[in-house]
Amino acid sequence: MLLVGDGQRVYWEQSGNPDGKPVVFLHGGPGSGTSAWHRRFFDPERYRIVLLDQRGCGKSTPHVSDPDADLRHNTTWYLVADLELLRKNLGIDRWMVFGGSWGSALALAYAQAHSSSVSEIVLRGVFTLQRHELEWFYEGGAAALFPDKWEEFIAPIPVLERSRMIEAYHRRLTDPDPSVHVPAAVAWSRWEAETISLLPDEERVAEAVEPDHAVAFARIENHYFLNRGWFGDHQLIAGVASLRGIPAVIVQGRYDVCTPMMTAWELHRAWPEAEFVVVDDAGHAASEPGIARALRAATDRLAG
């Protein structure tokens, strides 16, 4: 556990080769936490693999599913500071930053703030929390492809509140009554779990709707989305000028409904030096075969 202040303890772990190339894995959500399979993107003989659970989720404490959890000290810039503190505590000079979905936004924010600490960048399912990205997935755009799942997502929200779904969910997720916030959290988490891969994955959905996980995930994610990550619109795309000397790979599923390819393409146009890989038979999830192969190929190429 890394004591990062504000009463927060951030869980971290290392695996692989202690003398290998350092890499930090930044999970999505925010609020999803890490899993053992996240290590598989890195050759354990060549990499020193660092995983951490961002504030309030996974094994970090206090867990946001707790009734008294406080999100005031859970913002992008606290997470960026936590990463830099962890790097220094581990005695790492520079490390590869690897992030997907929300983790891609955090990777870009961290690298733009601490470019001298970053050796390479690998991104997947690019997400920058711009208004149009959030409106696509949470205000009705993606319903064009998943009308049946969308109907389940909007069900907990009265008709008159459905024009601002993120705000409507925020009111319910912050309600102290478990009979209000638990069903809302489960519905929020189910919507994402059922739409992030090209093909259904019932095991992923079952994990996503486990109540403690769902409450922390939904509360943290909604908190970040309501505040648009504390980014200015276009901030992460405009900031790539500071990254031009850093080797980078962007992996994007062609049929990603959660973080559509429009944002990855926008980043590619602003940052043509970064290798751009489109996986034509995949959606958003890192576990999809084509995405996993492309990510592993990228880390294998960059290992030297």
Q: Is 68 a catalytic residue?
A: no
**At which residue do the structure tokens 């790539």 appear?**
240
Which residue among the candidates 101, 104, 189, 197 is catalytic per the annotation?
101
The C-alpha R_g of the chain, in whole angstroms, comes to 18
Contact call for residues 256 and 125 (beta carbons, < 8 A): yes
Looking at residue 170, its amino acid is H
234 near 208, Cβ under 8 Å?
no
In order of 6, 197, 236, 242, 249, the CA distances from 295 in angstroms are 35, 16, 22, 23, 9
Query: Taking the CB of residue 115, how many other CB atoms lie within 10 A of it?
Result: 16
Q: How is residue 297 written in tokens? A: 């190929």
DSSP structure class, residue 242: G
Say if strands 47-52 and 95-100 run parallel, antiparallel, or are unpaired.
unpaired
Contact between residue 24 and residue 52 where contact means Cβ atoms under 8 Å apart? yes
Q: Is 101 a catalytic residue?
A: yes
- Provide the residue count of the chain: 304
Q: Beginning with the edge strand found earlier in the chain, give each strand of the sheet holding 248-253 in spatial order.
A: 12-16, 47-52, 21-26, 95-100, 118-124, 248-253, 275-279
H-run or E-run covering 245: none
148 in catalytic set: no
Q: How far is residue 26's CA from residue 123's CA, in Å, rounded to a whole number?
A: 10
In order, the DSSP letters of 28-67 are STTT----GGGGGGS-TTTEEEEEEPPTTSTT-BS-TTST
**Positions marked catalytic:** 101, 256, 284
